[in-house]
């Protein structure tokens, strides 16, 4: 056998007649096949099973085993599933033909054979067999692919009856449409009618009760049947829900976040506009929350926010029965926003705000600590206070800020005047920042006088600001802005720097005059006044002992640990400490003994009528007695009348300051009037007292 012949496809021929074998072999050779001829059934069967065969030609009547038996044995082997087997016989009765096809024959050729046409017929049979094999392979590939996919597929008629499903081998029950697809019958009928592709989303519960989601697609086949493909999208849906939760919900409190709140407000505004209703927007801010974070850490702050959120949700639950679209969101930081839609939204909003206060009645417990946090709220209403979400939210925030400043209690309802005040506030804040940066601030100095020798004892540095457009801005106004914006720390550093430079100038002239500077509570808590004084005094070459630090009573109790450390550092530098506005704050002897000052200053509210009313006289006398017993210097502020001065002198007050003696003066005027050798004279009162405003303390 040549190499070429070994590569030819094999044709097995079995016929007990020599001539028949010869002619069949020639026909096979003409079809480019390698014929292997046998005169009996067993040999032909053995040869066929031992190799790859392209076609088998069998006579029916053969010794050892007839053609039907050989055919059945070959079909029993999976390799011969698509191999053409042709019966060649003289039997032409229908029973023989039936037996041949039942045995698995591909075709039946009757004798006498038309040998001239036989090669063409064999070619046709081989082509059909090749097509059948290709189709079978394609079917296997498609089935393998379909079975590998997680999707489930049905072919249904226009009434939803399943005609075929490739999932039959996987799950016999899958050939019937599940109950979850019963609702898709209308979609199946529509697709069968117009041929348009459709899809729909379905949800169902599995055997364990877990939620599942599916995407179902519908496509019409030729003939009108509809292919239904169901894809399990549970994981994708869960992932999308998780992403949406991350995007729209606060992880700490599990409340809707800022973005979700804004979108909810847009929907509520649109719904309210359609039915002629209103929407109340309530801003809630926690007072002093920053102190919790700063003092006890963010873990404590997070717990406070979680408890507040849970309490607010609990307090708002009763409103949901009448206002199901009531919304609560954490807007950011310690701010929460509530939305409620109603025809009388302003009234309902106030009821909601009042109910929220009940959420803050009880303390919040965290690792043995108790936190009390009170809210401040602002309320604005759509469409009365704005035509869009941004405007109404801004106005609710403005109202909350107004309430926080103490102008309207704990809840403020927005008015147009609030926006005007806020604009003025922001304008002044921006101007104040520029003034600090560009050095447009000034120090004025008010002298303090000793009553034992009527001589100047020192000066208090007071901040002044003259804006190019607004002119002289009252200290009470710009100090409030500085405190709120945090500028007070930068301004405090500027004051200390300027005071040290003036001290240096006075020392160069031989004038040893102590300067008192005011330090605000925020500077004590969040700044480093001791470090600033040490650095600026060293830079100017002046002793820290010439700098007196004035603090208020409230500063002492803001945070005893932080304040104590700061005061200890100031005293170590040699600075003297003065307790300002004494008697107006906590006035507790325990604070004075724990933080002993060098000086206490009687507030001017007790000096105003000290020589006229017994009450003020009693308070002032008690403070003077306290100072004498504790060996403290006592300074009386706000002396504006001679009667006040003489009363204080007669009671042994150490020092006084006020407009009767001298108003706050620019440095040059102070030097001219009180520091030059010819000017350092006993106390003389200013002439026209009425034209000077009351003194203001600034830092």
Tokens of 512: 């040893």
Query: How far is the C-alpha of 35 from the C-alpha of 26, rounded, in Å?
Result: 8
pLDDT band at 248 (very low <50, low <70, confident <90, very high): confident
Q: What's domain 149-237's superfamily in CATH? A: PAS domain (3.30.450.20)
Residues with Cβ within 8 Å of 152's Cβ and at least 6 positions away in sequence, in order, are 165, 167, 174, 229, 230
pLDDT band at 178 (very low <50, low <70, confident <90, very high): low
Question: CATH number of 431-675: 3.40.350.10, 3.20.20.150, 3.20.20.450, 3.10.129.10?
Answer: 3.20.20.450
Of 406, 414, 404, 402, nearest in space to 282 by CA = 414
Q: What per-residue confidence (pLDDT) applies to 449?
A: 95
Q: Identify whether the C-beta of residue 301 lies closer than 8 Å to the C-beta of residue 293.
A: yes
pLDDT band at 581 (very low <50, low <70, confident <90, very high): confident
3-state secondary structure 99-150: HHHHCCCCEEEECCCCCCCHHHHHHHHHHHHHHHHHHHHHHHHHHHHHHHCC
Q: For residue 348, is pLDDT > 80?
A: yes
Q: Provide the residue ranges of all domains of the chain, joining segments of one domain with +.
A: 3-144, 149-237, 249-414, 431-675
Question: CATH number of 249-414: 3.40.190.10, 3.40.50.10600, 3.30.70.270, 3.30.950.10?
Answer: 3.30.70.270
Residues with Cβ within 8 Å of 594's Cβ and at least 6 positions away in sequence, in order, are 560, 564
Decide which of 446 and 246 is more confident: 446
In degrees, rounded to 5, the angle at the alpha carbon of residue 499 between the alpha carbons of residues 495 and 501 is 120
Query: How far is the C-alpha of 169 from the C-alpha of 151, rounded, in Å?
Result: 14
pLDDT in tens, 45-97: 999 999 999 999 998 888 989 989 999 999 999 899 889 999 887 766 778 78
Mean pLDDT for 144-164 is 79
What is the DSSP secondary-structure string of 589-651?
Answer: HHHHHHS--SEEEE-HHHHTTTTT-HHHHHHHHHHHHHHHHTT-EEEE----SHHHHHHHHHT
pLDDT in tens, 615-654: 889 989 998 998 888 899 999 999 999 999 999 999 999 9
**Which of 36-40, 210-214, 646-650, 652-656 bottoms out in mean pLDDT, i.e. has the lowest?**
210-214
Backbone angles phi, psi at 467, to 5 degrees: -85, 140
| CATH class of residue range 3-144 | alpha beta
Query: How far is the C-alpha of 287 from the C-alpha of 113, rounded, in Å?
Result: 109
The DSSP element (H or E) to which 216 belongs, if any, is strand 211-220
Q: What is the CA radius of gyration of the chain?
A: 50
Q: What per-residue confidence (pLDDT) applies to 3?
A: 39
Query: How far is the C-alpha of 269 from the C-alpha of 206, rounded, in Å?
Result: 39
């Amino acid at each position: 056998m040549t190499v070429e012949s070994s590569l030819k496809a094999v044709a097995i021929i079995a016929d007990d007649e020599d001539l028949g074998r010869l002619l069949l072999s020639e026909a096979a050779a003409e079809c480019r096949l390698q014929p292997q001829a046998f005169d009996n059934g067993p040999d032909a069967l053995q040869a066929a099973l031992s190799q790859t065969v392209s076609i088998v030609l069998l006579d029916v009547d053969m010794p050892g085993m007839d053609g039907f038996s050989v055919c059945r044995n070959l079909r029993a082997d999976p390799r011969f599933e698509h191999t053409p087997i042709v019966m060649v016989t003289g039997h032409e009765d229908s029973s023989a033909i039936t037996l041949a096809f039942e045995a698995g024959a591909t075709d039946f050729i009757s004798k006498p054979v038309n040998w001239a046409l036989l090669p063409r017929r064999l070619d046709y049979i081989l082509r059909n067999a090749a097509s059948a094999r290709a189709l079978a392979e394609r079917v296997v590939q498609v089935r393998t692919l379909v079975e590998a996919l997680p999707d489930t597929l049905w072919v249904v008629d226009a009434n939803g009856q399943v005609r075929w499903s490739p999932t039959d081998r996987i799950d016999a029950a899958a050939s019937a449409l599940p109950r979850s697809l019963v609702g898709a019958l209308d979609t199946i009928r529509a697709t069968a009618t117009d041929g348009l592709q459709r899809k729909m989303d379905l949800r169902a519960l599995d055997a364990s009760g877990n939620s599942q989601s599916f995407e179902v697609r519908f496509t019409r086949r030729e003939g009108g049947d509809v292919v239904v493909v169901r894809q399990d999208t549970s994981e994708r849906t869960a992932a999308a829900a998780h992403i949406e939760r991350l995007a729209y919900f606060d992880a700490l409190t599990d409340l809707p976040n800022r973005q979700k709140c804004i979108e909810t407000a847009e929907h509520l505004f649109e719904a309210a506009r359609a039915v002629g209703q209103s929407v109340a927007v309530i801003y809630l801010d926690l007072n002093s929350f920053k102190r919790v974070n700063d003092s006890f850490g963010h873990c404590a702050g997070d717990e406070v926010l979680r408890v507040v959120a849970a309490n607010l949700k609990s307090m708002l639950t009763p409103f949901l029965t009448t206002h199901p679209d009531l919304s609560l969101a954490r807007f950011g930081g310690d701010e929460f926003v509530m939305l409620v839609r109603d025809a009388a939204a302003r009234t309902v909003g106030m009821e909601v705000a009042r109910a929220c206060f009940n959420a803050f009645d009880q303390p919040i417990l965290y690792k043995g600590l108790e936190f009390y946090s009170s809210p401040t709220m602002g309320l604005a209403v759509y469409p009365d206070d704005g035509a869009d979400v941004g405007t109404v939210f801004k106005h609710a925030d403005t109202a909350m800020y107004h309430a926080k400043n103490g102008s309207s209690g704990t809840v403020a309802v927005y008015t147009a005047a609030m926006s005007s005040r806020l604009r003025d506030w922001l304008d002044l804040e921006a101007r104040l920042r520029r003034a600090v940066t560009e050095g447009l601030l000034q120090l004025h100095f008010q002298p303090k006088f000793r009553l034992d020798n009527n001589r100047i004892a020192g000066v208090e540095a007071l901040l002044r600001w003259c804006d190019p457009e607004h002119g002289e801005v009252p200290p009470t106004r710009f100090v409030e802005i500085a405190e709120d914006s945090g500028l007070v720390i930068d301004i405090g550093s500027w004051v200390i720097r300027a005071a040290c430079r003036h001290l240096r100038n006075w020392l160069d002239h031989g004038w040893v005059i102590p300067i008192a500077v005011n330090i605000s509570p925020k500077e004590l808590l969040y700044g480093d006044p001791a470090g600033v004084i040490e650095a600026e005094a060293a830079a100017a070459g002046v002793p820290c002992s010439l700098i007196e630090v004035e603090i208020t009573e409230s500063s002492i109790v803001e945070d005893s640990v932080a304040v104590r450390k700061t005061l200890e550092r100031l005293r170590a530098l040699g600075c003297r400490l003065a307790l300002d506005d004494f008697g107006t704050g906590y006035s507790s002897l325990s604070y004075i003994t724990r933080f002993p000052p060098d000086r206490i200053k009687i507030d001017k509210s007790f000096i105003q009528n000290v020589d006229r009313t017994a009450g003020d006289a009693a308070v002032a006398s008690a403070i003077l007695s306290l100072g004498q017993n504790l060996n403290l210097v006592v300074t009386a502020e706000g002396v504006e009348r001679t009667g006040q001065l003489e009363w204080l002198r007669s009671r042994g007050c150490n020092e006084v300051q006020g407009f009767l003696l001298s108003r706050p003066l620019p440095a040059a005027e102070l030097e001219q009037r009180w520091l030059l050798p010819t000017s350092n004279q006993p106390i003389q009162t200013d002439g026209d007292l009425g034209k000077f405003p009351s003194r203001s303390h600034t830092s």
